[in-house]
Chain A
């Protein structure tokens, strides 16, 4: 019996070494891939840096929106798609009201927030019913919400919701067009404060917003609420015994994540400048999760630093892989498939490692109890 435990411990140690290695190896490995890709792509550093800064501006907020649920032990929140939907609702409303510029975008934030709170509450309630299966539930929930969103904006607009704006609607007067421009708020955040460094535009104001968000997160973690999140993330049963209202805390975590995702999507779309009504939100969850994981985060641990590093690496890869694929195989398509493989593969790997460790831990515990 003793010998067995020893062997198990040894295995455990091995696994620990492995987990430490895997923790740091992911960002390192991707740095190498990115460097190789950058060299192969033949793009100038200026082009790559400019593109990466642009993509950081668009995506960082969304990636950071994933951190709170990870802290609270709910894994990667693929349901930030629903937050993105709330953001788009805000944008669609201001487009109907035709309010542009900075007031327009502030209005969009204000309008999206109540939607996001309600949606986040719903997501939280549902995830409380599926403890231990949050990630698959949030993923499917994202798809389901996408269906409802399409139903509302294809069918209810112009019928149940009485609006009329021929520029935005389909010819029959029912349903929104597949895409429309957001010229009235394009760059309205980015341009509040920006400067050029050697021809690369840096949208400083958006980055200031991101920095404020980071400060806010750091602050939250130190409060009672943040401690509760972390207690839940460590062990839900112990947290329950310690008198934390588990369900309520989890709902709050989801609401915060959903609201942040809504704002993140608005920031994303004000930079892009057009909105693909029915598809703009679809990949939000997957890309944000992949970026976070590439930065070295796991299903149970994520920091702001990892989010930033991961977003930089992921989007460098996104920028360089088509050209690298073209130069390497004579086909840009291969590079594009490669990057979607990376996005899916890195999430799969992270989920796998997490589940594996959980399994090993559970088995060890069982053995010790026997």
Chain B
């Protein structure tokens, strides 16, 4: 037994083992509380699909050697902006969603390029600088959302007639366009197959990219920058590619999130969202230096299932405040802390 424990911890890492155990404990508790387990699992599926692409966005950044992208909120803002533009153009359904995605890509590429100019000057401190860069861009864009001259009455404040609303409802626009695409109903619960397929395609593309020549160079640059530079790889360029790719995936990710959630959230909403994605991939077994698609998939499943199941179960056990939110804070930041200590000092 002790051997099995040690082996599994060695193989999967502490966060994954503990979170899985906690998840099982929650499921058992739910069973004893006579809660609708299948319903709980179905809700988790929706949330897993919702967050999947955002977690995937961490992979290129970690692989290229600049650590988890704490400034992913910049990419999310690009996505949200594109989402608003597609509503402003008065588009609906799938075309609106696809327009939003194709608009978000160039915006995120530009933002990613600008950001990597900064990032390549602060090697070793990307996380700290990135966090505060993300925070400052989010608060700068708060002013932006107020003064960008959008006209669509669906999006601007009814009173005053200018400035975007905090949350923009997507019903009638592209609410759940992916979720509804080929969804199946299982015992009264909807499983968002369309979003999973979209996530699968994204994963496949990233995997394909990593297998390409550029991808291999990126891996080498991230793995050992000095060695890579000596063998003729332009490390800065590889890091730039990784960051841009991460920002683009972040932009697409927030649009996937929005269509599933049914709202685009603006203003301070993206402020802490990168941490959610980071802790998901870390739970999946990634470190701040290594990540894989497998880490993304297992991480997002475990973390989001944990979050969505903990809410009803803990409220069923102890109807005290928002205890499940507290658990989210502890798990999320605990996992990041663990990864930071695991990585050791810079020297």
Contact = CB atoms under 8 A, between A and B. Distances in A.
Most A CB contacts (10 A, CB to CB) among B125, B332, B334 go to B125
Contacts of A355: 121-122, 124-125, 128-129
Interface stretch (B102-110, B214-222, B294-302, B317-325): B317-325
A154 B320 contact: yes
Nearest to B135: A344
Interface string B306-332: 000000000000111101001101101
A347 B128 CA distance: 10
A144 interface: yes
Contact of A172 (B121, B142, B320): B320
Contact of B346 (A131, A338, A340, A354): A131
Contacts of B113: none
A175 B327 CA distance: 15
B129 A151 contact: no
Interface in A147-196: 147-148, 150-151, 154-155, 170, 172, 174-175
B347 to A, nearest CB: 7
Contacts of A151: 323, 326-327, 330
Nearest to A336: B142
A358 interface: yes
B275 to A, nearest CB: 8
Contacts of B129: 348, 351-352, 355
Interface residues of A, number: 47
B201 interface: no
B172 interface: no
B320 A130 contact: no
B185 to A, nearest CB: 37
B71 to A, nearest CB: 10
Nearest to A290: B132
Contacts of A172: 319-320
A171 to B, nearest CB: 11
Q: How big is chain B's contact interface, by range?
A: 35 or more
A136 interface: yes
Interface in B140-183: 140, 142-143, 146-147, 163
A348 B118 CA distance: 11
B315 to A, nearest CB: 13
Contacts of A352: 118, 121-122, 129, 133
A96 interface: no
A114 interface: no
A144 B333 contact: yes
Nearest to A354: B125
Given A334-B147, A341-B136, A131 B330 contact: no
A126 B163 CA distance: 44
Contacts of A338: 143
Interface string A326-367: 000101011001101101110110011011101100000000
A137 B136 contact: no
B147 A129 contact: no
Nearest to B330: A147
A148 B346 contact: no
A82 to B, nearest CB: 12
A139 interface: yes
A365 to B, nearest CB: 14
B336 interface: yes
A341 B329 contact: no
Contact of B132 (A147, A329, A351, A359): A351
B128 A143 contact: no
Contact of B143 (A75, A334, A358): A334
A96 B149 CA distance: 53
A31 B140 CA distance: 21
B21 interface: no
Nearest to B120: A359
Interface in A99-147: 126, 129-133, 135-137, 139-141, 143-144, 146-147
Contacts of A351: 122, 125, 128-129, 132
Given A175-B321, A344-B136, A126 B125 contact: no
B334 A133 contact: no
Nearest to B71: A348
A343 B135 CA distance: 10
Interface of B: 70, 118, 121-125, 127-129, 131-133, 135-136, 138-140, 142-143, 146-147, 163, 275, 318-321, 323, 326-327, 329-330, 332-334, 336-337, 340-341, 343-347
Given A136-B340, A331-B146, A348-B135, 17 more contacts: A130-B344, A131-B345, A131-B347, A139-B128, A143-B332, A144-B333, A147-B326, A154-B320, A154-B323, A155-B326, A174-B318, A334-B147, A337-B146, A344-B135, A348-B133, A351-B125, A358-B124
Closest 5 CB pairs of A and B: A132-B346, A147-B329, A131-B345, A355-B122, A348-B132
8 contacts: A135-B128, A137-B337, A137-B340, A141-B333, A337-B143, A343-B139, A345-B140, A354-B125
